[in-house]
Structure 1
């Protein structure tokens, strides 16, 4: 990547963490990067396009960095437990703040809305494979839509990202409740064949 572009993308990410989306300007980004303001427009066109490229690159990097850990997930409880670990890592790195600012800006800016959809899609790709493995052989496998459940889990995590900023203990309690749901699924998996058959039949009847 062009060194100047890399500086600008790093600068805009830092400013999102520190000042939020409302505080962004070409001048602020250029000052942080130590380059001429005109280079923001030369390389990216607009400040929002710069945010878009920086957030897409950060999402790709994060998703790739967690791929190996997600590949080891074999149950929903493991997935939810890993989700808590990832949440703590992303919070410590300041990436939760960036995501929250991106979603806030997406309410008013079409470019950022596309960025948000891209970010959610990338995480869904990684999570869906883990969900499919977790459901394999489960009594609920035939009645649960893995792609839909993946989106629900991703959406829950994003909601918790936002919640974390205003009520961290509440977000932690919500994570604990999700982990309890994972444990409940494991209890269901330990049911005998007859009970599993009845459960599967009842679930299909509600589908």
Structure 2
């Protein structure tokens, strides 16, 4: 019985994600999700209590599963340049699968529906946590460690990951894509990290003076 219940709940989660992906958040209802899952609408309320709870649960589970599938790739990142390369690859893959669009749709829905906000924030935070752990590993023991607010930078990188999906359709062809801007920033960071002993020592002295003045 437990296995059957678990299977039904997962089918509803999958149907909720598929409905958001195909119809957008405005096209999601108990009726459309139930039709996608091939069940009666009452099954949604039996397992989740409400459509909002189903959407929240489905978004969190789907995001956690996607991040888990990329964890080894994050662990292998050895430079900020590689982090941006991985971000580009992941965005392309997730966009192809429609998963970035789902998060973007949930984010858009959360602006007007407070019930969706906590789960959407939690799903995005899962990406933030993964990026933050990688940035700490790359920067904490370097010259930039004392200067960089890693949690805020991780949020900015993750926001770009989702936000570029929202603005892609609005940008002019000649506009600098968000991920290109991140790549430029990564290049500057890598230049600092690759400084020779003399320049590193000078920068370290400047860093100490800067941090003492805070």
TM-score, normalised relative to structure 1: 0.90
Of 153, 157, 162, the match for 1:158: 162
Please state how far the C-alpha of 1:20 moved relative to its aligned partner.
0.7
**Alignment: residue pair count:** 207
Please state how far the C-alpha of 1:172 moved relative to its aligned partner.
7.1
Distance in 2 between residues matched to 1:170 and 1:115, nearest whole Å: 35
Of 35, 38, 43, the match for 2:42: 38
Please state how far the C-alpha of 1:89 moved relative to its aligned partner.
0.4
Which position in structure 1 is the counterpart of 2:61? 57
Distance in 1 between residues matched to 2:175 and 2:123, nearest whole Å: 21
Please state how far the C-alpha of 1:151 moved relative to its aligned partner.
1.9
Please state how far the C-alpha of 1:165 moved relative to its aligned partner.
4.3
TM-score, normalised relative to structure 2: 0.88
| Matched-pair contact (CA < 8 Å) for 2:146–2:207 | no
Farther off after superposition, 196-205 or 101-110: 196-205
Distance in 2 between residues matched to 1:33 and 1:171, nearest whole Å: 41
| Matched-pair contact (CA < 8 Å) for 1:12–1:50 | yes
What are the Cα deviations for residues 127-167 of structure 1, in whole angstroms up to 9, with x where unaligned?
11210121144321222122222222212222223223444
Taking the TM superposition and a 5 Å limit, the aligned residue runs for 1:112-131 are 112-131=116-135
Of 102, 112, 125, the match for 2:106: 102
Please state how far the C-alpha of 1:37 moved relative to its aligned partner.
1.2
Distance in 2 between residues matched to 1:78 and 1:47, nearest whole Å: 40
Which residues of structure 1 form unaligned runs of 5+? Answer: none
